[in-house]
Structure 1
């Protein structure tokens, strides 16, 4: 099968001034999954396809996945390790080709079984990372996730030939979805990108999730692009933006307006790909039709958005300075990036606010200021200047609940945060 590598496909669209849009879609029924891929491909947008996997596969409980399929119980994603390979090949046949790459998305801290399955099907694009697929989603020890992701990277990197360039996307810019100051999101995404590159990958993407301040988000993506340019050398890389991952608007108009804002942010910031969310997000699992609507809505908004400012991103921002400090502090701990990450979390030099994983220090705290920017309430042991804590304050449970619903309330009332 002739393929265009995932990264090259996105780069080609970017060169034409087009944003690539992508759903987060996964169904356990092969016929429905094939329909989802076909309609994503046929949407009025430049798209890539997604196989989002089920929770049993994510935690390697393949016996439970097999039992669910045998009992006719729908799963919350596609069980790539459980359906016979011929079934999965039939799902992809005539859809996955040079004009339509497909990425496997999963959430597993130990993904070797998933990488083996996707490679056997002729796929070579996936996502995750040793930190970003461990701390938010599991209680897997971070050292085990780092070891597994070393192996997974090497499995992907070794699967070349016939023009194949395997691609791996860091989920680091999406830690907990919200309430994590952008400097940490940028730092984790960049560090995972360096981890991937040093374990043999030549095509990566770095993620960032839309947050609560347009200006701060622009600064964050600029910082991500600058640090990637400084640290990833000559390998192929691009930035992928995620539509807001926190509490989503309840109203249809509010949900679509938030998605359109994400598309405009993608264009303005120079991101190359957007992971969409649907108008049904707050109410139920989105249908294929919901996803197609979201893809086309985002594509229209991106087409109408003003072009980004010419020239390189601006390095003069608080987000860039904080992220750069975090990244270089970690890289100076050890020549092996995985070992450096373990040391950084053990010392609290990386610390994800409100993350309850046992390997996370849990001392850092954040809040949303009146101007919508995410700021530090307490930096814990993070190697940041005292000035980073703009307002010494205690964050209460009431503060958290208010912050978590800020975006939802703003868009449901017809405004913005």
Structure 2
């Protein structure tokens, strides 16, 4: 069943902000108790910026262990997110009363490969926006077979499409493992998940990309993402979302805010409509409400000073070409998007570097080159043009070399001499 025509309140809000020249900023926030979660949402809604509220679920709910979540609530234990199913739809609905409105949409973020129970609960609670995907919430976070996750997500999308109101679905495909995944593969996975959502009845969609290690490369990647979304998802209501760097985060406050500033500049200059913000506490603990608010206000203030860049001047390193090739080839491998995704991973034609899931070939390799760009070393079976794929010979990858790449942005932004606007200059 197709979803109702036209965007829901989540996308309407994003579009209003974009018309007003405002970047929408959103936290990755979740607390275990109703009181904490409501207080967090109220604080975010009160910021002088275009904000969207987030309910991030806990790790028990993510894997459908709702009994453990209920026990933790009964025993007063701290949870690392909101156990929406354990609390129940009516409790969640009451918590959101007077908060979730057209002027302040709320999205559930989760990380579940099998989200059926969660989606049923959020719909019953009156929530109309969530995220994830059959690949992006299976390979990094679970041992669930990919074919099983694809089937579950097909059922879930059709359930959301049949609710009678537009439900927004955001692909997490642009954030695979958070780091060391070449931009073209991130873009292709996000577009492919968007096509999967559309195939199963959803028409209110966002596509994602996670900030990586080189601002000019990221600008090119976001331009490619938006161009490909227009081509492949042009008959849906879509927008793009950028994630502040999802890998190992700077430990110093100065470094953390330098990296956040760079992501806000990147979002504003690329024309991206929404930014998922990280805080200065990311490297060691779950951020407080005040820390989330501070990060959101900072990111919004940075974006207000920026204007969209003239994207025609971007150096073309082949990101668009590579992503288009991956998408086009994948879609030839099945009679529908879901079966094509499963077969593409089985053949190694979709392959996520350093991902240990049993359905991922893990043959391709990427690296951060001497310029700080994230590039292919060996694409394995991924169908990218070979002339673009291979960089200079990097030598044998060692464990130390991998750790150095994983900590690249942490070290870069924690260096005393790289701070503020100097650290993210796009020139």
Given the two structures, how large is their TM-score scaled by the length of structure 2? 0.94
Counterpart in 2 of 1:397? 399
- Given that 2:367 and 2:375 are in contact with CA atoms closer than 8 Å, whether structure 1 keeps it comes out as yes
Looking at structure 1, the residues matched to 314 and 341 of structure 2 have their Cα atoms a distance apart, in angstroms, of: 27
- Given that 1:223 and 1:315 are in contact with CA atoms closer than 8 Å, whether structure 2 keeps it comes out as no
Aligned residues: 411
Cα gap change, 1:307/1:381 in structure 2, threshold over 3 Å: closer, same or farther?
closer
Runs of 4+ in 1 over 6 A off after TM superposition: none
Looking at structure 2, the residues matched to 4 and 377 of structure 1 have their Cα atoms a distance apart, in angstroms, of: 42
- Match of 1:81, SS state, is helix
Counterpart in 2 of 1:44? 48
Looking at structure 1, the residues matched to 311 and 377 of structure 2 have their Cα atoms a distance apart, in angstroms, of: 35
Output one character per residue of 1:240-276: Cα deviation in whole Å (capped at 9) or x when no partner: 0000011111111111111011001001111100000
Counterpart in 2 of 1:330? 330
- Given that 2:131 and 2:171 are in contact with CA atoms closer than 8 Å, whether structure 1 keeps it comes out as yes
Counterpart in 2 of 1:193? 194
Counterpart in 1 of 2:182? 181
Counterpart in 1 of 2:215? 214
Cα gap change, 1:252/1:117 in structure 2, threshold over 3 Å: closer, same or farther?
same
Q: CA deviation at 1:391?
A: 2.4
Looking at structure 2, the residues matched to 86 and 344 of structure 1 have their Cα atoms a distance apart, in angstroms, of: 41
Counterpart in 1 of 2:155? 151
The answer to whether the aligner puts 1:349 opposite 2:353 as a matched pair is no
Unaligned 5+ residue runs, structure 1? none
The answer to whether the aligner puts 1:171 opposite 2:172 as a matched pair is yes
- Given that 1:377 and 1:395 are in contact with CA atoms closer than 8 Å, whether structure 2 keeps it comes out as no
Looking at structure 1, the residues matched to 166 and 136 of structure 2 have their Cα atoms a distance apart, in angstroms, of: 23
Task: Show the 5 A alignment for 1:113-132.
Answer: 113-132=117-136
Given the two structures, how large is their TM-score scaled by the length of structure 1? 0.96
Unaligned 5+ residue runs, structure 2? 1-6
Output one character per residue of 1:179-214: Cα deviation in whole Å (capped at 9) or x when no partner: 111011000000000000111111100010000001
- Given that 2:89 and 2:122 are in contact with CA atoms closer than 8 Å, whether structure 1 keeps it comes out as no
Cα gap change, 1:193/1:305 in structure 2, threshold over 3 Å: closer, same or farther?
same
Q: CA deviation at 1:4?
A: 5.6
Task: Show the 5 A alignment for 1:290-301.
Answer: 290-301=291-302
Task: Show the 5 A alignment for 1:232-251.
Answer: 232-251=233-252
Output one character per residue of 1:106-135: Cα deviation in whole Å (capped at 9) or x when no partner: 000010111100000111100000000000
- Match of 2:85, SS state, is coil
User: Which of 408, 411, 417 is residue 409 of structure 1 equivalent to?
Assistant: 411
For the aligned residue pairs, the C-alpha RMSD in angstroms reads 1.5
